[in-house]
C-alpha cells in the first residue's frame, strides 16, 4: 500500500511518467488523476480547465478543486489504499498549494487547512516533482491546444514553479525532484530508483 503523486508545471511529462511507473509496478498499481478521477470529478475538470470558463474567482476555483478531491478520496483513493493497492495520482494537494496558493495568491495556510478538511488523513507518501526549463515548456505547449491554466501567462507559471520548488525544499523526505528534460527512459529510471529507495516498491 502506497500513495504516490506526480506534480510539476504544464508539459513536464507527468502523465507519461505515471503510466510508465504503473506498467513497471503491475496490476497492484491504480492510475488516477485530479481533477477528473471520478464521474463527478470529470464534470469539475470541464469547468476549471475549459478555456470557455471566464470570471471564475480564485476562491471558487479552489473550492471546486476541493470538491473534486473530497469525492476522489472517498470514492477512489481511500478504498484502493484499504485494499492494499499502490495509488498513482496525476496531481493532488500540492497542485492546489502551487496553483491556487502561490499562483493565484490565496493564503497558503488557508489552502492547507481546507485541504486537510477535504482529505482527512489521506496524504501522499511520496511526491514526484518533474522539473523542466521554461523554454522546454514553451516548446511543448506550442504543440497542443492549451487549457485554461496553460493560457495563464508566464508570470503565473513562474509563481507556480517557485511554489513547487519551495515545497520540495521544505519537505525533502517526502518529495523527490527529477529533471524531466532528460530522455523519457532516463526520467523513468530515476523515478523507479526513488520509489524503490523511499518506499521499497
CB-CB contact of 124 with 89 (8 Å): yes
In tens, the pLDDT along 27-54 reads: 999 999 999 999 999 999 999 999 899 9
pLDDT at 15 over 90: yes
In tens, the pLDDT along 60-98 reads: 999 999 999 999 999 999 999 999 999 999 999 999 999
Q: Which residue has the cell 530515476?
A: 190
In tens, the pLDDT along 167-201 reads: 999 999 999 999 999 999 999 999 999 999 999 99
In tens, the pLDDT along 17-29 reads: 999 999 999 999 9
Residue boundaries of the structural domains of the chain: 2-199
The residues facing 2 across adjacent strands are 86
Q: Which residues lie closer than 8 Å to 158 by C-beta, 6 or more apart?
A: 134
- pTM for this prediction: 0.93
pLDDT at 147 over 80: no
User: What top-level class would CATH report for the domain 2-199?
Assistant: alpha beta
Amino acid at each position: 500500500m502506497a500513495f504516490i503523486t506526480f506534480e510539476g508545471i504544464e508539459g513536464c511529462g507527468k502523465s507519461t511518467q505515471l503510466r510508465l511507473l504503473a506498467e513497471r509496478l503491475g496490476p497492484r498499481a491504480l492510475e488516477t488523476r485530479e481533477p477528473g478521477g471520478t464521474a463527478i470529478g470529470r464534470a469539475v475538470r470541464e469547468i476549471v480547465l475549459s478555456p470557455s470558463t471566464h470570471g471564475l474567482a480564485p476562491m471558487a476555483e479552489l473550492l471546486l478543486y476541493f470538491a473534486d478531491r473530497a469525492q476522489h478520496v472517498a470514492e477512489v483513493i481511500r478504498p484502493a489504499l484499504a485494499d492494499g493497492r499502490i495509488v498513482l495520482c496525476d496531481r493532488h494537494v500540492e497542485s492546489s498549494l502551487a496553483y491556487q496558493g502561490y499562483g493565484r495568491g490565496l493564503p497558503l495556510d488557508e489552502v492547507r487547512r481546507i485541504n486537510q478538511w477535504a482529505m482527512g488523513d489521506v496524504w501522499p507518501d511520496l511526491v514526484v516533482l518533474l522539473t523542466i526549463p521554461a523554454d522546454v515548456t514553451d516548446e511543448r505547449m506550442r504543440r497542443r491546444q492549451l487549457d485554461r491554466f496553460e493560457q495563464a501567462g508566464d508570470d503565473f507559471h513562474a509563481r507556480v514553479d517557485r511554489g513547487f520548488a519551495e515545497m520540495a525544499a521544505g519537505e525533502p523526505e517526502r518529495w523527490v525532484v527529477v529533471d524531466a528534460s532528460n530522455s523519457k527512459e532516463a526520467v523513468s529510471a530515476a523515478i523507479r530508483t526513488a520509489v524503490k529507495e523511499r518506499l521499497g516498491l
